[in-house]
Amino acid sequence: MLSVRNVTKKYGKLLANDNINFEVNAGEISVLLGPNGAGKSTIIKCIAGLLKFQGNIYINGNGNKSLQAKRDLGYIPEMPSLYDMLTVWEHMEFIARAYSLENWKETAETFLDRFELSDKKKKLGSDLSKGMQQKLSICCGLLPRPKVILFDEPMVGLDPHAIKELKNIIMELRQEGSAILISTHMLDSVDEFWDSANIMMDGKIAARRTRNEIAGSGEDLETLFFTITEGDR
Amino acid sequence: MKALLYLLITQLKNRMLALKKKPALLILYIFIALMLFLVIFVSIMMEVESTQLNFADERVIYMILGGIGLLFLGTFITTGLSTGSTLFTMSDVGLLFVAPISSKKILLYGLVSTLGKTILASFFILYQIVNLKANFGYGLKEILALYLIYVIITIVGQLLSIATYIYSNGNTKRKKVIQTVLYFFAGIFLVTTLIIQRNQQVSLYETVLRIADSSWFGYVPVGGWAVMFFKGIVEGAIFDVLLSILCFTILSILFVVFLTRGTADYYEDVLHSTEITHQKLKAAKEGKKYSQRNRKVKVKDNEYGLQKGKGASAIAYKNILEMKRKSRLVYINGYTIIASIGAAIAGYNIKGEVIGAYTVLGALLYLQFFLTAFGPFKFELAKPYIYLIPEKSIKKLLAVSINSIIKPCIDGVIIFAVLTISGGCNPLTAIFLALAYAACCALFVGMTILYQRVLGAQPNMLAKAFVGIGLIAVFLGPSIISSVIVAAMLPDALLFLSSLPFTICCILFTIIIFLLCGNMLDKVEYSEK
C-alpha cells in the first residue's frame, strides 16, 4: 500500500507539489492525470525517493527512503535510463544482483519474451531503439516483483503489442495484490482498468474519483478530466 | 531566398533581443567587447622597440599557423570519414530541408550562417594582439590577417569534412583510399622532416621552423597556404597573398560544386552529423557528457554477464563490465598509455632530478583533478538505479567509487615504473610517488562526493576550477606542507619517504569525506543532468 501524506515539493520559488494527499491500496490501480506541468512526475519522483520533499510517504508502512520500502518499490521512469555498455540480459542480471533476487532468471525470461526482447538479449543498451529501451526499462522495474509500482508515462514510445502486453501485466499485478500508480496523459490507455483517479492541477490534487463513484453517472475519465482541468472554458 | 534571408536576420535580431532577458550574459558580452577595445587600445599605445633584435623568432608563428592548418586538414578529413561535419542545425533539418527551397540556396544559407558563427567564435585571436606586438612587433594588420586566415581555414575545413563524408559514406573502399592517402602524405612529411634534419644537422625543432619558413611549404594545401597568406601580409608580398586566397577559393568552389552537383542531394549526408552536433549541444546545455562510440562494441561470450556481485557490490561489478567493453585491459586505457608516454619523455629529460619527478606527480594530479569529475560516479548519479537499489547509501557510494580508486593505483604503478625505467627517478621514490598519486586520486573521488553532497550537483569546469582551488587549499595544503616539513627533516638516504605524509593525509581526508557524506544518496536529489 502506498500512502502520500501532506507532501509539498518546491523548486526554488516554484511550488511543484502543494500539500498532496492520497493513497493507493493493495490490488488497486490508481491513475495520476493532469495537464503538462501539473506536478505528476514530481510527485512520482518524490514517492520513488529521488527528490527531497516536506511531508511523509509510506510504502507498505515504511518511510519511502527506508531499505524495506525500496525493496517493495518499483519505478519505471518516463525516460528510459539504461546503461550503454550493458546488454539487455545484463541489465536484468544487474537488477537481480543489486536487489539480491533469487530464482530470477525464469521471471526475466518471461518479461523479455512478453515484450519481444528475447532475441535482443545480447544487444547493448545503446543499440536499442527508443521503444525497446522503454520495454527494457519496464522489465527492469518489474523484475524484483515490487508490491508498489510507479509508472511515469509508461506507454510512450511503445508499439501496440507492447502496450497490450503492458496493460495485461498491470492487470495481473493488480490481481497479485500490488498497489499501482500510473501517471499518464493517454486517458484511453488506462480507461479500461483504472480503479481510482487523482487529477492534478497546479501542483494540487484538484479532484479524486473512484470508478465506483462515477459508475452510475455516465461520466467517463475523459469527461471528468476536461471538466476539472478546463472547467467552463 | 527571401525566407532564408528573413531567417538569418530574424535569428540574429532575436538573439540580440534575448540578451535583454539575460542581463548576466549581456554584461559578459559587454565586458568581452570592452576588453577587446582595451587590448587594441593598449596595443596601439604600446611602444615597441623598433630593433628586430628584441623580437622572438617569427618562424614560430609560421610553425604554429602551418601546424594548425595541417591539424585542421587531418582532423576534418578524419571527421569526414566518420560522422562528417555540418553547416546546419536540427531546426534547419526539420523546417528548411522539407521546405520548397532550392537545396543550393539552403547550402549558401548554411555557409553564411556558419561563416557568421566562425567570425564570432574566432574573436579570441584578437586578444593576442598585445602579446604578438610585444613579442613579434606585429600590428593590427598582422593580427587581422591571422584572424582572417583562421576563419578561412575553419570554413574550408568544414566544407572538406562534408565533401569527404559525401564521397566516402557507406563505401569502405573509398574510406580506405582516403585514409591511405592521408597516412601516405603524413608519412612523407615526417620522412622529409627527418631527412632535412639529418642533412642540415640541426635540432628537430629548428628543422620544423625552417620547413615552416621555406618557400615550398607555402604550396602545401591549407597549412602551407595559410602560412603563405600570412607571410605575404607580413612581408608585403601581394602575389603570395593573392595566390593563397586563390588556392582557398578554388578548393572551396570545388567542394561547393561537388556538394551541389546533379540534384544536390546532400541532405542525407549532413543529417547524421547534424544529429550528432545537436546531441552534443544538448548534452553540453544540460551539463551532460556526450559520448559517441567510434568502434563497434562486440559482446563476447566470455565477457558476457556480471558474473559476480550481490547488493551494492553489483554496482562495482557492473562498472568493471562496462570498463571491459570500453577497454580490453579494463583499468588500462588511453589515459594510462598517454600518461606513461608523457612520463617516459619527462623521465628522459629530467635525468633523475628529484624535483622533476615531483613535478611529474604534480602535473598528473592536476590532470586527474579535472578528469575525475567525468568518472563513473557522475554518470551513475544521472540514472535512478543507484537511488532505488535497496542498500545502504555508504555501501552504494563505495561500490560506485571503488573502480575509480583502483584505476589510479594501477595507473600509478605503470606510470611511475615507466618514469623509473626512463631514468626519471629511483625505484623507491617511484613506489612512494605512485602511492601518493593513488591516494590523491582517491581524495579527488571523495571530493566529487563532497561536491554532490554540498552543491547538490557536480560543478562545471569553470566552477570546479574555482571551488577546487579552495578545496585544494583545505585538503592538499596540509598534506603538502606536512611532506615538505618531513622532507626537510629526513636524511638524504630516506628522502624517498618525503611523499608519505602527503599520502597519509590524502587517505585520511578521503576516509573522513566518505564517513561524513556516506548518507549522501538519501539526502541529495536525483537529477537527470
**Best CA proximity match to A28, nearest among A210, A221, A215, A218:** A210
Residues A164, A170, A173: CA angle, nearest 5 degrees: 140
Rounded Cα gap, residues A96 and A109, in angstroms: 12
Chain A positions in Cβ-Cβ contact with residue B383 (cut-off 8 Å): 81, 83
Which secondary-structure segment (H or E) carries B304? none
Chain A closest-CA separation from residue B391 CA (Å)? 6
Q: What is the pLDDT of residues A215-232, one digit of tens each?
A: 777 778 888 888 888 775
Contact B297 A85 (CB under 8 A): yes
**Best CA proximity match to B339, nearest among B279, B407, B258, B428:** B407
Contact B385 A90 (CB under 8 A): no
Tell me what pLDDT residue B343 has. 87
Q: What is the largest CA-CA distance in chain B?
A: 82
Question: What single-letter DSSP state applies at residue B94?
Answer: I
List, in sequence order, the alpha helices (H) in B85-171.
90-91, 103-121, 129-136, 140-168
Chain B closest-CA separation from residue A202 CA (Å)? 22
Q: What is the pTM (predicted TM-score) of this model?
A: 0.72
Rounded Cα gap, residues A51 and A40, in angstroms: 13
Contact B311 A50 (CB under 8 A): no
Rounded Cα gap, residues B365 and B237, in angstroms: 48
| CB nearest to A86's CB, from B322, B522, B526 | B322
Contact B525 A122 (CB under 8 A): no
Nearest CA in chain A to B523: A52
Tell me what pLDDT residue B296 has. 67
> Can you read off the three cell numbers belonging to residue B86?
555540418
> Can you read off the three cell numbers belonging to residue A72?
517493495
Averaged pLDDT score across all residues of chain B: 83
Which secondary-structure segment (H or E) carries A4? strand A2-11
Per the DSSP assignment, residues forming a β-bridge with A149 are: A74, A180
Say if strands A54-59 and A204-210 run parallel, antiparallel, or are unpaired.
Answer: unpaired
Correct CATH for A2-230 of 3.30.830.10, 3.40.50.300, 3.40.50.1400, 3.40.630.10: 3.40.50.300
Residue B437 · residue B508 · CB < 8 Å: no
Contacts with B15 (C-beta within 8 Å, 6 or more apart), sequence order: none
What is chain B's length?
Answer: 529
* ipTM reported for the complex, 2 dp: 0.86
Cα Rg, chain A, nearest whole Å: 18
| CB nearest to B321's CB, from A49, A90, A140 | A90
The segments of chain A whose pLDDT lies below 50 read none
Rounded Cα gap, residues A94 and A8, in angstroms: 33
> Can you read off the three cell numbers belonging to residue B493?
638516504
Tell me what pLDDT residue B441 has. 92
Q: Where are the domains of chain B?
A: 57-280, 306-523
Rounded Cα gap, residues B394 and B482, in angstroms: 30
Residue A140 · residue A118 · CB < 8 Å: no
**What sign results for the dihedral spanned by CA atoms B71, B76, B81, B82?**
positive
| CB nearest to B384's CB, from A50, A65, A87 | A50
Residue B388 · residue A48 · CB < 8 Å: yes
Q: How many contacts, defined by CB atoms under 8 Å, are there between A and B?
A: 90
Is the pLDDT at B48 greater than 70, yes or no?
Answer: no
Q: What is the largest CA-CA distance in chain A?
A: 55
Is the pLDDT at B47 greater than 70, yes or no?
Answer: no
Question: What would the mean pLDDT of B430-456 be, rounded to a whole number?
Answer: 89
Chain B positions in Cβ-Cβ contact with residue A70 (cut-off 8 Å): 388-390
**What sign results for the dihedral spanned by CA atoms B151, B154, B159, B162?**
negative
Q: In angstroms, how far is the first alpha carbon of chain B from the final one? A: 40
Residue B455 · residue B525 · CB < 8 Å: no
* Best to test chain B binding among A42, A97, A101 (most B CBs inside 10 Å): A97
> Can you read off the three cell numbers belonging to residue B485?
616539513
Q: What is the pLDDT of residues B136-161, one digit of tens each?
A: 888 888 888 988 999 899 888 888 88
Is the pLDDT at B350 greater than 90, yes or no?
Answer: no
User: What is each CA distance from B229 to B119, B247, B377, B408, in whole angstroms?
Assistant: 18, 10, 48, 47
> Can you read off the three cell numbers belonging to residue A211?
470508478
DSSP reduced 3-state for A208: strand
Q: What is the pLDDT of residues B304-316, one digit of tens each?
A: 888 888 999 999 9
Is the pLDDT at B452 greater than 70, yes or no?
Answer: yes
Question: What would the mean pLDDT of B202-225 be, rounded to a whole number?
Answer: 87
Rounded Cα gap, residues B171 and B83, in angstroms: 13
